[in-house]
Amino acid sequence: MNKIVAKISIFFLDSIAGLSWKNIFRVSTALSWLLFDIVGYRKKVIHENLRNSFPEKTEEEIEVISRNFYIHFTDLILETLKFRTASPEVIRERLEGDLTIVNNLYKQNKSAIFLMGHRGNWELANLFSSLEFSHDCIVVYRPLQNKVFDKWFLDYRTRFGAKLVPMDKIFKELLTPRTKPYVVVLANDQSANPKTAFWTKFLHQDTGVFRGVEAIARKLNLTVLYAEFSKVENKRGYYHVDITTITETPKEVPVNGILEKQIQILEQDIRLQPHNWLWSHRRWKHCKPECLKPEQLLNLVP
């Protein structure tokens, strides 16, 4: 039964991709109003996250950010459906940025970890990366329990040549011999296991961060890049990427230094465009426990 429902749902979702961009955003505007004013989708979580992150802002300012987030959120959903069948030309048109740093790494035969937060449209970012990077593109993902939807997303995300690998298998994947350098693409701003996370201050709150990214970079001596995806003002559905090098020598960075730098950049970017982040996610659902000692970092990767 679940399989049948999933297939019907996918048929409906795929039909939305046939709408024009103009109608996509008309539907998005209506949906954002429905979620914000009628349903109140995760409104309590969103407002709590915003108030704790921006204690200096008034309730009126929080309300404006919240409403703008709902528009961004529904744009994200509808755009993602539209991008499922979009041509390479459309993908390149919708996301632009200077790729010199990545191209230079390829010329030097160097692999990298490409970090990002849940800003902009990360599904567009994944498609863009597999189109534009000369590297092999490996995207870290979390498999869905529903096999029909999982295959739908796999087909979506790999249609331009990217390879999707679950996080618990990524280290083994990266040890596989290759004929060319690779880029590992992943968002590293989700809620982490509190017992194994690196804890730091992020948006005024104690925040746990996945340590695995830094551990892999150190083990394999990978360049660590950070990608900031911003929305182009007054131009819905268009994005810009700025790529920053966090380090080319991860073994020389103090323990947890890579994670600290990533979080600092992410916070700066969120403050510049506060509605452009996934505020509906319960990012701070875990309390800070006693942290692991820094030297335990290297034991997290087999």
Render each residue's pLDDT in the chain as its tens digit; 302 residues. Answer: 477 877 888 888 888 889 999 999 999 999 999 999 999 999 999 999 999 999 999 999 999 999 999 999 999 999 999 999 999 999 999 999 999 999 999 999 999 999 999 999 999 999 999 999 999 999 999 888 888 888 998 999 999 999 999 989 999 999 999 999 999 999 999 888 888 899 999 999 999 999 999 999 999 999 999 999 999 999 999 999 999 999 999 999 999 999 999 999 999 999 999 999 999 999 999 888 765 555 554 454 44
Contacts (Cβ under 8 Å, ≥6 apart) of 155? none
Phi/psi region, residue 161 (left: phi>0; alpha: psi -120 to 50; beta: rest), is left
Q: Is residue 191 part of a domain?
A: yes
pTM over 0.85: yes
Neighbours of 57 (CB within 10 A): 15
All residues at 6 or more sequence positions from 125 whose CB lies less than 8 Å from its CB, including other chains: 95, 116, 185, 227, 229, 239, 241
Residue 223 lies in a domain: yes
Give the three-state DSSP class for 128: helix
pLDDT value of residue 299 = 52
- Other Cβ atoms less than 10 A from the Cβ of 236: the count is 17
Q: Is residue 54 part of a domain?
A: no
Q: Is 145 contained in some domain?
A: yes
Determine contact, residues 203/265, Cβ cutoff 8 Å.
no
State the total domains in the chain: 1
Instruction: Examine residue 65 and state whether it is found in any structural domain, yes or no.
Output: no
Residues contacting 141, CB < 8 A, separation 6+: 153, 157, 164, 165, 166, 167
In degrees and rounded to multiples of 5, residue 231 shows phi and psi of -85, 135
Q: Comparing C-alpha atoms, which of 186, 231, 228 is closest to residue 79?
A: 231
Question: Which residue matches tokens 């030097």?
Answer: 108
Three-state SS across 142-207? CCCCCHHHHHHHHHHHCCCCCEEEEHHHHHHHHCCCCCCCEEEEEECCCCCCCCCCEEEEECCEEE
Position 244 scores a pLDDT of: 96
β partners of residue 187: 116
Asked whether residue 163 is domain-assigned, the answer is yes
- Mapping DSSP to helix (H, G, I), strand (E, B) and coil, where does residue 13 land? helix
Please give the helix or strand (H or E) that residue 245 lies within, else none. strand 239-247
Place of tokens 């969120």: 270
- Contact by Cβ (8 Å): 114, 128: no
- Domain membership of residue 184 (yes or no) is yes
Tell me the C-alpha distance between 183 and 188, whole Å. Answer: 15
Burial status of residue 235 (CB atoms within 10 A of its CB: 0-12, 13-18, 19 or more): exposed
Q: What DSSP element (H or E) covers 60?
A: helix 59-83
**Residue 34 and residue 40 in contact, taking contact as beta carbons nearer than 8 Å:** no
Full domain range(s) for residue 279: 89-299
Q: Is residue 141 situated within a structural domain? A: yes
H-run or E-run covering 59:
helix 59-83
d(CA 83, CA 156) in angstroms, rounded, equals 9
